[in-house]
Amino acid sequence: MWANMKQKVAIVHDWLNGMRGGEKVLEQFLDLFPQADIFTLFLEEGKISEKIKKHKIYPSHLNDYSFVRKHYRYFLPFLPSAAESFRLWDYDLVISSSHCVAKGVIPPPGAPHFSYIHSPMRYIWDQYDQYFGNAKGIKRRVIRRQAEKLRLWDTVSSARVDYFIANSRFVQQRIAKYYRRDAAVIHPPVDVEFFRPAVSPRKEYYLSVSAFVPYKNNHMLVAAFNRLDLPLVLVGKGPEEGRLRKMAGDKIVFRKNVSAEELKELYQHAAAFVYAGVEDFGIAFGEAQACGVPVIAPAKGGVLDIVSDGETGILFADNSVPGVTGAVERFREALFDAQAIRESSLRFSEENFKIKIGEFINKRI
């Protein structure tokens, strides 16, 4: 907990319309700063936890428009000004939890601004082509022009941050590349108390958990497991679901809207967790490892902070269908210690996260 409980703390979070990895990080910040107020661009109270609801939450003016709230990704050019409109002038400390524009808020003079970066804005930097590469004609030119403006704003607004914290070395490198700023690395929390190994794991199938969107590369997993003729469970939903189902053979099963208990059980009885995308950190990798399950993934991104090749999983360089196939075949010939995998995951505990964040902020205050 922060040493000075009398001072006012503002926590800025991009949007609150679900409980994903970023919202789990927010909950840990709220444990550290129980008196904090929350500022967010969009708010759907029915989709957030009771812990978050207990705080004063100030949504932006854009939240007043239901169409904008439901289709906020189409209004990306308007989000920077909405973030800048937050009234933070009477706060003593500002913390932003950012993967979009939250880090660009305007803190009051004299108030330190700490920004926890889940990722620099993917849409305009390293994943621009994945999001907008198919646009053509006038639409392509408009998007390109808006992206140029957003890149300029994103770079300039980084000067408003006093201290950057990255969720992985991969994100730390991108902060240095895009903002020319140093960042400490503090990994996000994994609920290692909830996610635990089964007493008698069945190891019946391979498992992947992700959104069904193009850059997650789920199509590679489907093609690879069709070729391998091995059982695969894909947990998630998204616009690619129809395409993936058409590709999938008889041994590939789709699950969505699973409860936390169902997800834990799926992890516990998987032979391995498989992935073909590149994650900024990858909470799902940590959850699988907390259940004693090895991870098979490309040797790039946040997974390098989580998985040790040959010890707690298999990392492969060739991110392609043959690369996935070869990695699974290599995995089947190897032996892994479930207890050692579990112990490796404990460094990502919620308690460790709060200790590291608290120490980092206190030392600089």
CATH of the domain at 331: 3.40.50.2000
Distances (CA, A) of 67 to 37, 44, 45, 81: 26, 13, 17, 18
Residues 303, 343, single domain; the answer is: yes
Tokens of 290: 């907390």
Please give the backbone phi and psi of residue 17, each rounded to the nearest 5 degrees, phi first.
Answer: -135, 25
Task: Please check whether residue 196 lies inside any domain of the structure.
Answer: no
The pLDDT assigned to 135 comes to 66
C-alpha 98/C-alpha 120 separation (Å) is 8
Domain assignment present for 248: yes
- The answer to whether residues 71 and 134 belong to one domain is yes
Give the model's pLDDT for residue 70.
Answer: 85
The verdict on residue 71 lying in a domain is yes
Q: Is residue 320 part of a domain?
A: yes
In the chain, what's the furthest Cα-to-Cα distance? Answer: 61
One domain for residues 84 and 228:
no
Q: Does residue 42 sit within a domain? A: yes
Are 68 and 98 within one domain?
A: yes
Instruction: For residues 135 and 144, give the distance between their C-alpha atoms in angstroms, rounded to a whole number.
Output: 10
- Do the Cβ atoms of 67 and 78 come closer than 8 Å? no
Q: Give the pLDDT confidence score for residue 128 in this predicted structure.
A: 56
Please check whether residues 113 and 240 belong to one and the same domain. Answer: no
In a domain, 93, yes or no: yes
Same domain, 216 and 165: no
Orientation angle between helical segments 137-157 and 169-179, nearest 10 degrees: 100
For residues 319 and 354, membership in a common domain is answered with no
Indicate whether 184 and 286 sit together in one domain.
no
Do 335 and 355 share a structural domain?
no
Give me the sheet containing 163-166, strands edge to edge.
Answer: 57-59, 37-43, 9-16, 93-98, 113-117, 163-166, 183-185
What integer pLDDT is reported at residue 227 of this predicted model?
A: 98
Give the Cβ contact number of residue 204 at 10 Å: 11
Same domain, 353 and 245: no
* Nearest alpha-carbon partner for 115 in 93, 136, 98: 98
Q: Is 1 exposed, middle or buried (0-12, 13-18, 19+ CB in 10 A)?
A: exposed
In whole angstroms, give the CA distance from residue 317 to residue 331.
14
Give the residue ranges of the chain where pLDDT is below 50. 1-3
CA nearest neighbour of 328 among 353, 296, 351: 296
Closest CA to 184 of 364, 25, 32: 364
pLDDT reported for residue 126: 76
CATH number at residue 176: 3.40.50
Give the residue numbers spanning the domain of 241. Answer: 205-347
The two structure tokens encoding residue 159: 């000067």
273 and 184 both lie in a single domain? no
pTM: 0.92
Q: What is the pLDDT of residues 184-238, one digit of tens each?
A: 999 999 999 999 999 999 999 999 999 998 889 999 999 999 999 999 999 999 9
Amino acid 334 reads A
| pLDDT at residue number 338 | 97
182 and 214, same domain (yes or no): no
The answer to whether residue 343 is domain-embedded is: yes
